[in-house]
Structure formats: C-alpha cells, structure tokens
Structure 1
Amino acid sequence: LAAAVGTLRSGTSFQKQVEAWDVLLGIVCTAQGTVRKTVNRNQGFVAGADGKAMKQRMVALLAGLAENPSFLDALSAWRLHPDLGYREEAWQTLQALLQLLPEAIVELRQVFAESGEVDYVEVAGAALQALGDEDAPEELLLQLDAGLKHILVDEFQDTSILQYRLLERLTSGWQPGDGRTLFLVGDPMQSIYRFRQAEVSLFLVAARDGIGSVRLEPLQLRANFRSQKGVVDWVNQIFSHAFPEEDDALYGAVAYSPSVASYPEEKNAVQVDIRVTDEEGEEDEAAAIADLVAGIHQEHPDWTIAVLARARHHLQPLVRTLRQRRIAYQGQDLDTLMDRQAIVDLHSLTRALLHPADRISWLAVLRAPWCGMTLADLDNLIRQDRNRPVYELLESQAAQGELFDSLSEDGRARWQRIRPAIEQALSWRGRVPLRRLVESTWLALGGPACIPAEELPDVERYFQLLEKISRNGDLDDFSLLEERLQQLFAQPGSAEGAHLQLMTIHKAKGLEFDVVILPGLHRRVSAADRPLLNWLDHPEFGLMLASLRRADSETGDATYEAIQAIQRERDRQETTRLMYVAATRAKHQLYLFGQVKPDGEGTKDPPEESLLGRIWEAVQPHVTWSRPVHTEVEDADTSGLL
C-alpha cells in the first residue's frame, strides 16, 4: 500500500501509475469489483492491537466509498481500462492484419468492379484519397481550396468519422481572417444514427476544439416553435433527469438543454399508460391505442396522428388490430412480403412444383383461393395414406375409386379445374427458368383474380426475386428464398387522406404531428454483436485497436472489453436521445404506452436498455397504472375440428 501511494506521489511513468492504481483498487475492492466490507492481513492489515485502529479507519473509509456514487462510477470505468500495450502474440496478430487487410481491400474492389456496385465507405474513402492530405494535397484539393469560400453542414450531430475527416481536409488550408466561413447546424440531443456510423462525440469535439485550424463560435437556440407549453414543460422535466449532467465525448454523453415554449399550454398534454402484467400485453395495448385513435379522430378529425415505434415489428400487433377494425392508416416498410397471403400462396406453389413430395405445400396449393378445396376434403384425401405424395394420391389410377369416394363432388370439380395447369407445370419443371414456370402456372390457375390489384406489385417483386436467385430452373437453397422474402417489404395499402401514420422513430425525425403515440416502450431490441475486429476512434488519443482473440484462448482481451464497454454506454446514451426525439415530435398531445411485471406489492423496473427504462426514474410520478382484466371462458368442444 505504501509503495503504491509512493509511486503515485513520485510522478513516475504513466504505466507505473496505472499499475499503482490497480494495486490500490485491489485493496479497496473485491475480485467482483464491489467495495470490500472489511480488510485483513491479505490486504496488508496486521492482526492484534497494533492494526486494530488502522483497520477501523479503513473500514470506515470503505463504508463511505460504498455510498459514493461518483466513486462507484469511476471504479466501474477503471476496471474496464484497456491494456497498456500489446502482448507478443497480439503484436504478431496485428502485424498479420496489417498485411492481410490491404489485400482484402484489393479483393473487395475487384468484387465492386464485377458487380458494378460500391458501398458508402468506398465512396467516402475515394473522396478522401482524391483530395490527398495537408502535406501532399492533390490537384482537386487545391482547386477546391481556391474556389471554396463558405461551407454549411446540416444535421452535423449525425456526422461519421469519414465525413468529419473530409471536412477537415476541405478546410485544411483555411486561415483566421481570410474571409471564409464554416457553419455547422445540429442538435446533439437528436443524434440517433450510430447504426450508420454517426458519432455525436465528433459534434462535441468540434464545438470544443473546432475543426483543424477553424475555431467555432457556439450559438444555442432554445425557442420551441413546434409543441404547446404542456408538452415542452413535460419534456424538460423528464429529460433533464434522464440525460447526463455534462458532456462526455468518449461515452457519447450529451447534457440536456431545456427548451422554451412559444405556444400556450393546452389541456391533456401528456399521458403515460403502464400496464402491470406477467403476460405479453401486445394485443391489449393495440386495442387501447385503436380506441384512443378513434376517440381523437372523433374529437379532432383534422389532426394528424403518428404511432412511432423503435422497431418495425413492434407495430405488428397494432397493424393487425387496425385492419380488423378497418381503421385507415399510412405506413411504409411495415409488412414483409411473407406477411402477405398472396406471397405465402406463391411460395407454397413454388415448393410444390419443385418438390412433389412436399405434402404441406401441396395441401396449401389445394387450399389456396385458386382452388379452394375444403378442409374436410383435404382431410379425407390424406386420411387413408399419410406417406404418399398428394399429387400421386390425386392421380394414381389404382386410387381413383377411393379418391372419388373420399372427395366431395365440389372437391372433385375444383381439382379437375386446376389439374391441366398443374400437369403442364410438372412437365415443364427443370426445362424452363423458374420464374417462367411459377408465373405461368399462377396465371393459368387464375391467381391475379384472387388478390386485390394493389398487391400485384408485391407479386411482381416475388417473381423478380425468383429470377435473381434461381439457377437452371431450380433453387439451391429454399432457406435463401425465405430469408430474402423476410428482407423485402410489401407495398403499403392504399390509404390516401388517412390522418394516422405508422413508422419507426428514425423515420419520424424532422417531422411533426398533432398527436404522437409511443407503443411498447418496455420492449428491447437485439443486443449488439461482438465484432471480430474491434476498434474505436478515441476523441483524445485516436485509434484504439483490440487484438483478435485466439479461438482456443479462454483469456479475454482487456482492450477489446474496454472498447465494448464504451460502445455499450454509447448505445445507452443514444437510446435516451431516441426517446427524446420520439417525444418531441408531438405538437398538442403525447401518449406513452408500456408494460412492467408485478413484483410482490410493487413492480419490477423495465429493462434499462428499453426506451421506458431510460426515463423510468423520472416518469414514474406521471404514470397511469392499469392491470388487464382476465375473464374465465369455458373451453369449447373442439373434437370436430381438423
């Protein structure tokens, strides 16, 4: 202990000071990172009367530290500090990467050239290369420097490191007083695009240090010309507690800046509806939102209403409810192609034609609208033989008598109507491109007459996908087709003039609505992946690069974990900002919906990484609590159902 304190006082090297702090914290904390409750000779405190007074003072100090939030935060941060250097095996890995990655770039650019496509990183990197650098500028940079007098950048809070470097390069030759101006516009409290490599830390560093030789004069705008005073005051009250007290560029933390309302206060500004239940209450919540929408429409028929969710799939229960109630809405990228029944039927037809033994797909083809065979007929068809392919059951001469005894007259007529189209398709299988096979069969079956006209573009996208991924009239992997169908979104239904819009919070940024409804605030999204190669642009020290961990190693890399901890905290800070963006879209009224689980007489807190979790401590006094009512219903007799 004395040696560690002496090291810190002597002003030795940075590495020695870090090692000394590790020793001190090893005395203060357990291996799990919690503050010790007591100490003994293992920490250097001798037994007996001589050490008793010192031990008592140390225990009192530990008790005080355990109640000090600032110390606990600093302790958590320190425990995750990176290694001070690379081990020998790590150096070997990094040297191999330095040789491998340039070769990988060459191969990637070859792929770009062959496909005729590039990604954003390649475009931005090419722009930087075209400009050269300050010491060796290219001709393009010199031309731009001579003619470029003023630069204005909007939404600067969502700048990526490549964009930031480009701005640095463009202003590298500027001098104070030369008449050129750089104007950056942005609100760091609305930085929500980390998934596009945007980092709010760049905004904070630019505001503090400028960009290159260009120093910036801050101009802070506070007037809110969107929301009524009741909404503005509520947002100020809640988010002044949810946001951190001060900026921190490393962790992407932005201090809250309150707004001043320009419009007078109105009634019913904000309502927070939290349901207490152990069950998933998505359908109950959707029904409550549909009731709310209907009421608002009746009271304010000209008001616009937006339902904003963190992820598209969070809106699915509400979409189903709105369709059931025939409430018109507008929304984009809400339904995947596989959510449309027409595409499900086409998918079954594709599988049936390519795999005659796929009984489920064949039954789906017979059940689809172009045939419409009843469940009773389907059951009778396969009841006696549950192994043979369905088409063989329909066509086998030996089974004809049994077949026509099992199928009703209506079922026989339906099969005879589609039989020529199916026979023709099976004779073409493997001889024509897959798109032609499926599309011509669908047309012959009367598929276009079975769906609304607005779904025809979705059908065309399905055929385009078949054309793109099929080979020699077949599919190598059906899972690829299903995966791609989940990635393509159906065309939104026709709802022109609808005052209700459904979208994600990210799509709503920059927009405003009379009423904003935020559903499912307790829900989480998937955790971030652990990348193979992990690095960070540190705002003070530049590149932090972790070594790759060997697959056969059980030892974690301290630098890798330090970077992951920083990224997790940046994600948490952005979640708070995402909630702020959602709330500030409202002009007149804001409604929040969420769910918590019961815990004895009280409730459990929502997940910390959820939108509700980020404001939970501040929002609890504003909550309207509700508990779903369950009604006992006698079980119906289902013995006759297939």
Structure 2
Amino acid sequence: MSTALKPLEMPLWGSRLIEASAGTGKTWTIAALYLRLILGHGQVGQPVLMPLLPENILVMTFTRAATQELKERIRQRLQEAAAYFREPEQQPTDAFLQKLLEDYAEPAARQYAAWRLSLAADAMDQSAIFTIDAWCQRSLREHAFLTGSDLRESLLQDDNDLRADAIRDFWRQEIYPLPEHLLEPVLAVFADPDQVQSKIVPLLGNGATFGQPSRPLQALLSQSITALQQQIKMLKQRWSDQQADLRSYIFQILNGPKADNPLNGGKYKPEAMEAVFEALQDWLDSPEQILPANLEKCQLLRASSLQKNCNKGRSIEAPSSARILEAVLDELETLKAQFQKIHYDIQSHAAAWIQQRLETLKAMHHQVSFHDYQRRLADALSDPARAEQLKSRLQSQYPVAMVDEFQDTSSLQYRIFDAIYATASNTPERLLLLIGDPKQSIYRFRGADIQSYLQARRLTAGRHYQLDTNFRSSKPLVAALNALYDEAEAELSEGAFAYAEAGADNPLPYWPVQANGKNADWQLGKQPGPPLTIWAAAEPLNKADYLYLAAEQAAECIVQILSNPETGFRQENAEQIRRVSGRDIAILVRDRHEAACIREALQRRHVRSVFLAEKQSVYDSPEAQQLLLWLEAVADPENTQRLRVALALPLLDLSHQELDAFNRDENAWEEQLANFQDLSRRWRRQGVLAMLHHSIHHFAIARKLLRHPDGERRLTNLLQLGELLQSASATREGSEALIHFLREAIAAGHDQSDAHILRLESDAELIRIVTIHAAKGLQYPLVFLPFIATYRKDKAEDYQLQIEGDGAARIIWERGDSEATERARLQEDLRLLYVALTRAEYALFLGLAAPSSAKSPIFDHSAIAYLLGYQHHHMALPELLKRLQQNAALRENLQIHPLSTEIPVTPLVASTSNTQSRIPDYHGHFDKTWGIGSFSLLVRDLSSSAPLSARRARQGAIWHQYPQGMRAGTFLHDQLQALAGQGFATVLQKGSAARITQACEQAGLSDWAEGTLEWLQAIVRTPLTASALTLENLQHYQSEMAFWFPSAALRSRKLDQLCTDQMLPGMQRPRLPDRVVHGMMRGFMDLVFADAGQYFVMDYKSNVLGSEDQDYHEQAMQQQTLQHRYELQASLYQLALHRLLQQRLGRNYDPQAHLGGTLLFYLRGLEGPQRGILHLPANLALIEEMDQLFASGERAS
C-alpha cells in the first residue's frame, strides 16, 4: 500500500520508493526534498541525516538534458528558499516554504538556514547530479585503485564501428577456414556477416556475458557435426532405395482416374508432391546436407499421413516405403533437435568470440563504452577483495542517492545501486530514494528492466509513497482517465496493467490522482470541449482501411478546430479565447508508417506538420545521401560519372528533358562543368559550408525544395549537415577526408549525439507528429491518437534472458513460451498506452475499429481493447462503447462519434484574424536582371546549320579512329589538364601507361588505353608556334585559369556584330540568340602560356572535321570555328588576358608586343597542313572596343 507523499514529513533515511504518476510534479518534489537534505531537516523522533552539501547528494537520471534541468530547477529553488528565509514577508506566498519556515522559529536558525541554502545554490556547479553512465565513469576514475581502472582510457561514445570490425574479424578468422562439411550448418545460421550483425548484436545488447570461447569454432563443430552427419548418412542409405517406389506409388494414384484417387486433392497436388520428392532427392544427392529442404511437406508422405488424409469414406493401404519414410522422418525429428542445439552453440560461440574481440579492440585503442563503465563498477562492487572498501568510500562520499526515472533502469544498474545502498536493509545512516513510475516503463528495447523495479518494490514494502496530484491536465480530463482506469482496475482480474495475480498483491496498481486543474478551459465551438473523444468504425476494417480512415478523420477534425474562431482555450474570467494553433496539437504514433499516413491526410488539407521521431539522426535522412553524392562531384568535377549523378539528384529537380540536353548540347554540359569547377575552388578556399550555401543559391535549391510539402524539412536537413561538415573539417584535411567522414557517418546512421539529432525545421505553427516513445516526459494541449488500436504481436525468441542472483544476465537457449511472450507484449503496450493518454493537458482524440479478420492486427489484442474490457466482457466494439458511456464518471467527459467511410477533404484557410504580429513585407529593390554570364550562355540555343560529324575512320591515325562526342572530348580534356599539373613531358615517361590505362578504365574506354597514350604523346610533341614550341618543353604556363569581369547590361547582338566585323570578317556564321548579360562574365581558359615574351591562350578542340589529315586545313578549321562561334570565345579570352596583364605588368605592358593571340588546337588534325593549330591573332581594336562595351553596355529596355 502506498502513502500519499507529504514532502515535509517524509522520512529522509533508509530506502524508499516514490511512485510519481504522469504530471504529478516529480521534479518539484525532488527539489523540495533536496532543500530538506541541505538543511538537515527531519521530524522529531525520526533519524535525521546531518546537513549536506550538493556534492554529497547524488542525483541520477538518464539524459544530459534532464541533469541540466534538475540542476537549474534545484538551484532556482535553493535561491528562492534562501531569499524566503531571509525576508519571508517580502516574498510571494509559497505554501511549502511557509511550512518549512515554521520549523525554524528562531531568527538565528532562519539566518543560518538562509546561509546554507545560499551556499548550496552557489555550489550547484559542483553538485553530484549525473546521468548514471557519467556517475559510473566518475566513480571508476575517482577510485581507480580500488576499481582497477586505467586512467589512460577515453570514452567511446559509440562502439558500433568497433563491433562491426569484430564481426568482420570473426568471419575472417572463424568462418573462412572451415572445411566444406562444417560450413553448411554455419551458413544455415549466418549466411553472411550482415546476419551475424542482426543475430548477435541483440544478444550482446542484452547485457549478457558469454565468457571466453573455449576453443575455435572448427574444433567445437568437428565432433558434433561428424557424429550427426554419420547418422544422417545412414538414414540416407536407408531411404535411397525406397524413394523411387514411393514416388511411383503416389503418382500412380494422382495421375490415375479421379474417381480412384482416395487422397485429399487439396493437400496432394501433383506439382506439390513433385516439389517434395525433388527436395528428398536433393537431400540424398548432397552429402553435406543435414535435413531435407522441405521437411514439413515431407510429413505428408508418412504412412500415417496418407491414411489420415483420405477423402471421407475412403481409405488407403500405405506401401512399405511410406512406413520406412515414417521411421526415417521420426529419426530426423530427433536429429533436428540436435541440429538446433548445434545452431545455438554456433550463436553462443559467435557471441563470446565477438564480445571478447570487441574488448580486445577497445583495449588496443584505450577506449571504454558507457556500458563498460557500468559493468566494471558492478564487478568491482561484487569482488570480495575490494567490494567492502569501495562500498564504504562511496557511501561516505554520497550518503544520499536519488535515482530519478527508476523504472527505466537496467538490471545491471540496479545491481550497482543495491550493492552500495542495500535496498532491503533500510539503514538510518544513509538514504536511497528510488523515484519513478512503473506505468511509464516503455524502454525495454534500451535495456530498461521493469523486473528490477518490481524487485525494489518488494524490498521496500511498507515504504512506498505516491504523488497524488496531477498538475498537467485539466480536471475533466483527469476525471475521465481516472474513471477509465478505475473501472479496469476493479473489473479485470489482472488489473489495469495486467500484472495482478490471484491471492497476491498487485505489483503495478493504478492509483487515482487528484487534479490541481488548469487556469484555462477547453472550449469547442460555444460549448465546453469534451476531454475524451472517440471515433469508432461501425463496421470491421482491415488495417490499411483503418489507418486511412482514422488519419482522414483526425486531419479533418484538426482543420475544423483550427478554422473555428470560437474554439480554443478560455482563461478564467477572460472574455476572449486563445484560438488553437498548430503548436497546440500533437499526434502520437508508433512508427514512421503511421506518421506517413497522418502527414498525407494533413497535406491533402494544406495543414503543415513535422514528424519528430525519437532522436532521429540527420545522417539517416535522404539529404545526407544526396549531399554525399554532391560533394563527390564537387571534389572531382572532371569525373564525368560523378557529375552526371549530381545533376540528376532530387536536390536540383531537373526534368528528363533537361538532363538529356547535357548529352546533346556540349555548351550546356561545359557550363555545368564550369559551375562545379567553381564550387570546387570555393570549397578549397572558403570551406564546405560556404560552398554549400553558394550551391543552394546558384542552383535555386531552396526554391525547388520548398515546392514539396516537406520542403522545409529537407532544406533544414541540408543546412544542418553543412554545419556538421564545417565543424568536422576543422580536424580533417582535404575534401576526400571530409567525404569519408560523411560516408562513415551515414553508414553508422545511429549516431544520436545532440548535434546530430534532426532539428525542427522552423518555429512556425506546425502540428507535431511524435512517436509515443519520444513524447514521454512532454505535454501538449490537445493530443490525437488516431491509430491507438494497432498492435504488433511479438514472436517468441529462441532464447530467454535470465537474471541470476548476483544480477548478472545469462542467455538460456530455450524458445520462449508464446503465451508468456504475448503477455509481456501486452503489458508493455499497456504502459505505452498510459504514456500516450497522459500527454494531454485538455483533450484526447482516439480512433478505434474492430478487425475484419483474425489476421488484422487491430484492436482485438491491443492495449486499448484490454483497458476497455473487450476480452473480459466479450462484447463487440459498438456494445463495448455503449457500456462505456454508462459509466457515470465518464458520461459528461466522453463523446463517441462514428468513424465515417466518407470523410470530406476541407483545405485549411489561413486565419485573417490571427492576433499574432505579422512580419512586415520587405520592400527593398533587387536587380533581378543581374546574373552570371559565360560563353556557354551566349551561344546556348545557337541556331546552327553545322553538318553532322564525319563518320569515324576505321584505319589510319588513332585520332581519326577515336570515339567521337562530348564524353570522349571531355575525357581527353581531363587528361590534358592532369598532364598540365604533372608536367606535359611526363606522358612520355614509362610509368604514364599505367595511369592512362586506369583513367580509361574508369571512363569506360578500356579498349582505347593504348590509343589514348599514343595520341597524348603526339599532342605534347606537336609544334605550337613559329618557334617550334611544344607542350613537352613548355616552361611557363597556367592550366584552367579562371577569369571574372563585370558586364553592364550588354546585349549579345552588339557583341555579335563586333566580332562579325573584326574576327574573320566576311565569313558566314550563325547569329547569337538575343539576350542580355548583366552582372558578371566568367570563364576558364584551358591553357595560358608565355613564349618569347608573348602570352598566348590555348583552347583544346576535339571536333571531327573529317576522317583524314587533309580535312584539317586552315579554311576547314575557320569554318568550324565560326560555326560554333569559337572566335567569340577567343575574343573573350583575349579580353580577360588583356585585363590580367594590365594589372600584373602595369606600365611595362604593351598589348601589341605582349598579346600573342589565341591558339585553337584541333587535336584530331595533328598531321594536317596546319598541325591542327588555328592561330587567331590578338586584335587590339576589338579588345578595346569589347572592354568598353562590357563596362558601359546599355540596360535592356
């Protein structure tokens, strides 16, 4: 029996358990008791601990956020109390402090108390408020001699990577060496390392210890498998002579006249029997195979099965072969159990080996996980040689320990607390205070062990206290939940949480709570809003229909609530209500699938929402994968495959037509290549975050993402990833290191440190969609539980976790009882339901439906069905709800509506009467014509009548046979750029062949490796100028030189006319499309070099002019140049070079002397009349006129 807790009267010694139901002021109570401990306050006639300091009061909880909140709340309470004790008449009324003050009647006592409280408030930074993990770590370090701790060890936040290494080592060292006859049973357990991960990691995560492997896996298996295979061999020999006889017998019946067939046609179909005999034959033919693949279906061929499965009134005389098979199958069933034990032995061995290897790897790196800290402290506290001394020191250091959220402790953690403070002893020299709510124990998947709570409850019998006032929810809602649970507690034999047993104390009862009440009332329209609303389907539904209709109903109801100006919260004595906003509403779900259902229903009604899964890592988001591919392309823009992948990412949202244009339009492709080259330079110079911001701006990524319903979520993920990468770049050198970091983070995926948890995309009025697990500890004015009738049956595991007397966990290889497994599932679901129902402040909305079949996992075995007494009353859902309405305590607080099959879709219209301040419109002026221009932009959509490329030659020089098109041209350009960085002459060295071959393989040109090398060697030896200068002996040059210069609203037609008049005048060329270039012009020059005092620009061209050398004469190259407007490109290069030389050479600059012009190097014309070189001399008049045109071009009208 629990006693209502009175914070001033509760004894502060011994071991005590406080049950703090949802919303009952647990943190306030901890702070109140903390004040008393600081003061040494106690009751007359009771043992009293001496006044303590914060460093001696150990408070443990489960998250860093919770420790910070506790520290601040306690510090604030200490400060308030100190001020109250100094001058109580000048402080606000505080009932607790007022009563506490009465116990310090003397002024001197009050001033001393005020001093102690103030001293404690100042010392809160040294307080012993920790997470359990952090306290274990601290204790091991502070008592390193007694615990045998290595002070060199560092904390390993996440040991998943090392565990993956240990699994790979296990596969290499234990599985690879196995001979074939031992490999088959192992592969039946683990097909690959991924299956080792999926089967063994849960075993290790249970906290169980497996000891050290006694011998290698091969030695473990040799004896047992050899004996088993010998028995199997004898069975195969016994059966092999009988297979043909039984097969003939069966098919003679099946293929004979139907009237003569006595066998059940539904079970004995020819194709099914054929598969059974094939499985038996495969078993006979495979010496290593232990059991037939289709063993269950083989049972149909037993003599007893043949006789049993005859049609009504018919019988059969089974042949001797069927009786022999029956005996064989009986023995196989026995051997199957032996084989299963071998499977268990393999898993136990793997777990032990991997556990030991993981410890070795951590020791090698001097790293320790949080679980290691707990295990080591527990081991030290149970070691006879040092336990008593360690306990004594910890008891002296922390005479008081409060364990918050005690229901979430693991068996190992409780073993530590009990070892130090001896829960059963109830000694007056110290205090162990266990604070929690077993009804909210929902983290079994993290190791939370409710059995530890129940054990502590038994050991503290007679010392149980209850917080009995709910401060979270309104009085009507508290009354409704009390009525619901009181009825279940009274009528159900196992109690409201399915723990009660006949003749025994209920270890997990429901105690009704009082309601402190809210300072506002929930109003729906002009009426008081019901605290509990249920939508129930009139007809049974399958799960898919239930999810769809419940989501639609909830979404439509939300629209009505948000749209109604008379729905909201009315403060006491207030004339106006506060309308409901999106942030007032939470929709609680079990998983992502349910979240997707409700989000889709909300999106159809234009209602914005956000899904908040519990500590979901941003590295798990699709944007992380996309950003990885984007970074790979930016780091290596010359890699055509990477660049194509980046351009096809959903981030850019390009259509199929736009993507196809890059295959057909060389200028469009070169423009994108230039974009990514620019991003690559930004990354190197300014950092990854600056590059990402520029990408978002330049490619309009934000605008494109925000077109999607979850666009804000996507954009927020992208920006958060950018910030994480920028932080990571501080300790990683180069782009490849950062890409590796992101790739590893995505692979880990589970990293849940605070920086990596998904951020809320905005502070807008978004409806929260939250998993029930993530909602624990939170509260919302209105809570929707549309899918509360769903459930998932747990499958009985092949093992059971057994907690020994010393608290250690052991694995027992024994299939769990399915009934016990289902009972445990229901018990946890009932606790999860309680958490969900107690998140609301004013109102709950539930969706229910009966299942259309026994296979539909809704309602029948759900927690809500149990709570409503579905199994107990044996009523259909409609009758059950009618009965619920007859409950006097629920009648005024419950509304039941039909879950309609025809639900309207009402779009949410933004309220014009919203009283919140509106952000003013920005009226600043942006020059929307400003942009970045380039040669590619100028010639885009060029109206050209250029002939199709000539057919590739089948013989002659390699450059005439080489593949044509943009892919081959880009590859050749990349190789020349790479050679520029290494020195062009390196291609003539012996080691160049391997590099060229590798590059060709990566580009899909493996067959052209030898030809590529030959061509490149010819290129670097080709004379370029009159002085016979070649790339091979080039000394002063710069590859891929970038340029930028401003452009003042220049019309392309003026530039077009200027070039037509002064570059190769009198020759025909297509006109440039009319467009305006206003902003900046940019470009990249393939090669800039100096020779004999002159500066030249070279541009590589892989265009095909013909299939023979003589096709590359000067006139042909001029026509090709004009057809693609390369003369304009050359003029832009000369202008850029002119401006650069003006700055670098200053007064010494003489354009006539220094400008050598542009060389267009037609690479396929190496042996043509002009050696493939078309020299366009610098035209100073043209350059100066272009310079003026870009500087003062008129604005477009």
Aligning the two structures, in what range does the TM-score lie when normalised by the shorter sequence? 0.5 to 0.7
Matched, 1:585 2:825: no
How far has the Cα of 1:164 moved from its partner?
1.2
CA distance in 1 between counterparts of 2:656 and 2:766 reads 40
Q: How far, CA to CA, are the matches of 1:528 and 1:351 in structure 2?
A: 43
Instruction: Name the structure 2 match of 1:346.
Output: 627
**Take 1:313 and 1:605, find their aligned partners in 2: how far apart are those partners?**
14
What is the CA-CA distance between 1:345 and the residue it aligns to? 4.7
CA drift at 1:328: 5.3
2:826 is the alignment partner of 1:576: no
CA-to-partner distance for each residue in 1:569-626, whole Å, 9 max, x for gaps? 3232111110111112223211112555435xx9967266655555465475336442
Determine the structure 2 residue equivalent to 1:492.
Answer: 760
Q: Distance in 2 between matches of 1:611 and 1:89?
A: 35
Distance, in Å, in 2 between the alignment partners of 1:130 and 1:305 is: 49
TM-score (normalizing by structure 2) = 0.35
- Post-superposition shift, 1:122? 1.0
The offset of 1:170, in angstroms, is 0.8
Q: Which amino acid aligns with 1:311?
A: D
Percent of aligned pairs with the same residue? 19
Instruction: Find out whether 1:219 has 2:471 as its counterpart.
Output: no
Cα distance in 1 for partners of 2:831, 2:425 equals 36
Per-residue deviation, residues 140-170 of structure 1 (Å, max 9, x unmatched):
3222234544333332222211121111111
Look up the SS of the partner of 1:561 in the other structure: coil
Paired AA for residue 626 in structure 1: L
Counterpart pick for 1:505 among 772, 787, 795: 772
Query: Is it true that 1:519 corresponds to 2:786 in the alignment?
Result: yes
- CA 1:448 to 1:463, structure 2 compared with 1: closer, same or farther past 3 Å? farther
Gap change, CA 1:224 and 1:474, over 3 Å in 2: closer
1:519–1:594 contact (8 Å) kept in structure 2: yes
Aligned partner of 1:456 among 714, 719, 722: 719
Question: Which of 248, 268, 283 is 2:530 aligned to?
Answer: 268
Change (3 A) 1:375 1:337: farther
1:223–1:603 Cα change, 3 Å: farther
Give distance in 1, aligned partners of 2:366 and 2:593. 33
Which amino acid letter does the alignment assign opposite residue 161 of structure 1? Answer: S
Show the counterpart of 1:419. Answer: 673
- Structure 1 stretches lacking a partner, 5+ long: 1-85, 382-389, 394-402, 405-411, 548-559, 632-642
The CA distance in 1 between the partners of 2:599 and 2:343, in whole Å, is 54
The aligned residue for residue 190 of structure 1 is 440
Counterparts of 2:453 and 2:611, CA distance in 1: 32
Q: Provide the C-alpha distance between the structure 2 equivalents of 1:377 and 1:95, rounded to a whole number of angstroms.
A: 55
Whichever residue aligns with residue 584 of structure 1, its letter is T
Query: What SS does structure 2 have at the residue aligned with 1:185?
Result: strand
- Which residues in structure 2 correspond to 1:115-134 (within 5 Å)? 118-133=368-383
Greater Cα radius of gyration, structure 1 or 2? 2
Structure 2 distance, partners of 1:323, 1:423, is 39
Opposite residue 902 of structure 2, the aligned amino acid is V
Taking the TM superposition and a 5 Å limit, the aligned residue runs for 1:358-377 are 361=645, 364-365=648-649, 368-369=651-652, 373-377=654-658
**C-alpha contact (below 8 Å) 2:400/2:432 kept by paired residues:** yes
Deviation at 1:194, TM superposition (A): 0.9
Inter-CA distance 491–295: structure 2 relative to 1 (3 Å threshold): same
- For the residue of structure 1 that corresponds to 2:783, the secondary structure is strand
Give the match for residue 419 of structure 2: 169
Give the superposition deviation at 1:534: 4.4
**1:257 aligns to 2:522 (yes or no):** no
Paired residues of 1:145 and 1:173 also in contact (CA < 8 A)? no
Kindly indicate whether residue 350 of structure 2 is the aligned counterpart of residue 108 of structure 1: no
Conserved? CA contact 2:617–2:757, under 8 Å: yes
Q: Secondary structure at the match of 1:591?
A: strand
- Taking the aligned partners of 2:343 and 2:796, their CA distance within structure 1 comes to 25
* SS in structure 1 of the partner of residue 769 of structure 2: strand
- Whole-Å separation in 1 of the counterparts to 2:644 and 2:549: 33
1:107-156 Cα deviation digits (max 9, x unpaired): 43343355665433212112223445577525332222345443333322
Give the CA deviation at 1:171.
Answer: 1.9
CA change 1:626–1:333 in 2 (3 A) is closer
Answer yes or no: is the 8 Å Cα contact 2:783–2:843 preserved in 1. yes
- Checking the alignment, whether the CA contact within 8 Å between 2:688 and 2:726 is kept in structure 1 is no
Does structure 2 retain, via aligned residues, the 8 Å contact 1:519–1:593? yes
- Secondary structure in 2 matching 1:502: strand
Between the two structures, name the one with larger relative contact order (CA 8 Å, sep ≥ 6). Answer: 1
Query: What is the letter of the counterpart of residue 503 of structure 1?
Result: V
CA distance in 2, matches of 1:111, 1:307: 44
Distance in 2 (CA, whole Å) between partners of 1:113 and 1:441 is: 39
Encode CA deviations 1:382-402: one digit per residue, 9 max, x unaligned. Answer: xxxxxxxx7xx3xxxxxxxxx
Residue pair 1:606, 1:612 contacting (<8 A) in 2 also: no
Check 1:604–1:175 CA distance in 2 against 1; reply closer, same or farther (3 A cut): closer
Equivalent-residue separation in structure 2 for 1:575 and 1:91 (angstroms): 35
Query: What SS does the aligned partner of 1:346 have?
Result: helix
Kindly state the Cα deviation for residue 176 of structure 1 after the two structures are TM-superposed.
Answer: 5.6
Say whether the 8 Å CA contact 2:802–2:809 is kept in structure 1: yes
AA at the equivalent of 1:421: N
Structure 1 residues 545 and 173: alpha-carbon distance in aligned structure 2, compared to 1, 3 A threshold: closer
> How many angstroms apart in 1 are the aligned matches of 2:797 and 2:727?
35
Per the alignment, residue 496 of structure 2 pairs with 243
> In terms of mean alpha carbon deviation, does 180-189 or 190-199 score higher?
180-189
Q: Deviations along 1:352-406, whole A, 9 cap, x unmatched?
A: 67885589836624x753xx65444446x5xxxxxxxx7xx3xxxxxxxxx25xx
Which residue number corresponds to residue 140 of structure 1? 390
The one-letter code of the counterpart of 1:219 is Y
Q: Structure 2: how far apart are the matches of 1:580 and 1:445?
A: 45
* RMSD across aligned positions (CA): 5.3
> Alpha carbons of 1:314 and 1:238: their partners in 2 closer, same or farther (altered >3 Å)?
farther
The separation in 2 between residues aligned to 1:122 and 1:183, in whole angstroms, is 25
Unaligned runs of 5+ in 2: 1-336, 522-527, 569-577, 703-711, 871-876, 882-895, 905-1197
What pairs with 1:425-444 in structure 2 (closer than 5 Å)? 443=694
Shift of 1:522: 3.9
Q: Is the 8 A contact 1:223 1:261 kept in 2?
A: yes
What displacement does 1:561 show?
Answer: 1.0
2:595 match: 315
Matched with 1:42 is none
Does the CA-based 8 Å contact 2:541-2:850 persist in structure 1? yes
Counterpart AA for 1:571: R
Q: In 2, distance between residues paired with 1:331 and 1:100?
A: 36
- Residue by residue over 1:291-329, the C-alpha shift from the partner in whole angstroms, topping out at 9 and shown as x without a partner, is 323433441146633222223443233345556655455
Contact 2:470 2:514 in 1 (8 A): yes
One-letter amino acid of the structure 2 residue matched with residue 457 of structure 1: Q
CA deviation vs aligned residue, 1:459-480 (integer Å, no higher than 9, x gap): 4447889999x99679899997
User: Is the aligned partner of 1:536 residue 2:820?
Assistant: no
> Kindly tell me: are residues 234 and 587 of structure 1, through their superposed partners in 2, closer, same or farther at Cα, counting changes over 3 Å?
farther
